[in-house]
């Protein structure tokens, strides 16, 4: 039972990482005067970014470091789950293959 919960959390973290990477790549399109950000991405990512921005100042001149901080936090949480229950990584591998 607990393996299933950990597996679901890890899959959620993986999908969230993909959405963050897509959001970062789409934010680079502003350099080419293309502003495109789907609503479902902003609905998923903005609450997380706003929560992090309340806790930590994340802007360094024109750079917004919020995605990097969120990725580091997700990687740390992923490491904690895998360290606590190493058997879940085998389930994750079989899920993606």
| Mean pLDDT score, 8-35 | 90
Residues forming a β-bridge with 60 = 63
pLDDT in tens, 71-87: 999 999 999 999 998 88
What pLDDT shows up at residue 97? 63
CB contact at 8 A, 44 and 12: no
pLDDT tens-digit profile of 31-79? 888 888 889 999 999 999 999 988 888 777 888 889 999 999 999 999 9
Distance (Å, whole) CA 89 – CA 37: 33
Residue 66, CA distances (Å) to 26, 38, 48, 58 in order? 15, 19, 9, 6
Q: Specify whether the CB–CB gap between 88 and 81 falls below 8 A.
A: yes
Q: What is the mean pLDDT of residues 25-29?
A: 89
pLDDT at 52: 92
Residue 74 in contact with residue 17, Cβ under 8 Å?
yes
Query: Which pLDDT score, from 0 to 100, does residue 2 have?
Result: 76
DSSP E strands, 9-89: 59-60, 63-64
């Amino acid at each position: 039972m607990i393996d299933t919960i950990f597996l679901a959390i890890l899959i959620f973290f993986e999908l969230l990482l993909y959405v963050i990477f897509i959001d970062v790549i789409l934010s680079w399109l502003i350099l080419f005067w293309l502003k495109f950000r789907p609503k479902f991405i902003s609905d998923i990512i903005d609450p997380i970014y706003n929560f992090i921005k309340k806790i930590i100042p994340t802007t360094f001149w024109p750079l917004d470091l919020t995605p990097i901080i969120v990725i580091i936090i997700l990687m740390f949480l992923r490491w904690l789950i895998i360290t606590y229950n190493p058997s879940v990584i085998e389930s994750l591998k079989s899920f993606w293959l």
